[in-house]
């Protein structure tokens, strides 16, 4: 039996914290699908296509990890992918409260969808895409916080 899991997010942009969760998940599960949300309600820096491409470049050496963009409900995407397990990262108690609410909603919409929560490695516990974007927008260096492809893309975009 293959364990197919989804690691969903906006990933605007993917950070080394996300990559930490992806690599650790790739060891625990047979197949990881990184589900990049279109998130039309968010004003993203990168388009959906750019975010998918940046992740593909970043995870190219992980043979059991794929990337797909999606729009709509995550539960619908999970059903289409025949996955019933989500991997989510938790940094703070604020993340926990938010994820707790989402998990309960997912259970109402898709009762067999479970969530597994991973905490980031200590060096990435503070890191978020929002922080990376803010630092980069104000001219700060984010080189140590993002994969090389993302660093280059940020430099071109900004």
Show which residues are catalytic: 18, 42, 91, 129
Tokens at residue 114, please?
Answer: 């479970």
The closest of 67, 42, 35 to 53, measured between CA atoms, is: 67
The closest of 62, 61, 67, 64 to 14, measured between CA atoms, is: 67
The closest of 57, 48, 43 to 130, measured between CA atoms, is: 43
Rg (CA), the chain: 15
Name the DSSP class of 154.
H
Output the CA angle 139-69-137, nearest 5 degrees.
10
- Bridge partners, 6 (sequence order): 33, 86
Q: What are phi and psi of 136, to 5 degrees?
A: -65, -40
């Amino acid at each position: 039996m293959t364990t197919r899991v989804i690691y969903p997010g906006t990933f605007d942009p993917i950070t080394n914290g996300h990559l930490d969760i992806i690599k650790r998940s790739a060891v625990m599960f047979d197949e990881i699908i990184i589900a990049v949300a279109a998130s039309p309600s968010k004003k993203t820096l990168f388009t959906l296509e750019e975010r998918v491409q940046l992740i593909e470049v970043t995870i190219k050496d992980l043979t059991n990890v794929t990337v797909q963009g999606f729009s709509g409900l995550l539960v619908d995407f999970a059903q289409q992918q025949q996955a019933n397990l989500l991997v989510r990262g938790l940094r703070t108690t604020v993340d926990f409260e938010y994820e707790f609410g989402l998990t309960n909603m997912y259970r109402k919409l898709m009762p067999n969808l479970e969530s597994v929560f991973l905490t980031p490695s200590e060096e990435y516990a503070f890191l978020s895409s929002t922080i990376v974007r803010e630092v980069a927008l104000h001219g700060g260096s984010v080189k140590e916080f993002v994969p090389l492809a993302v660093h280059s893309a940020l430099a071109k975009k900004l």
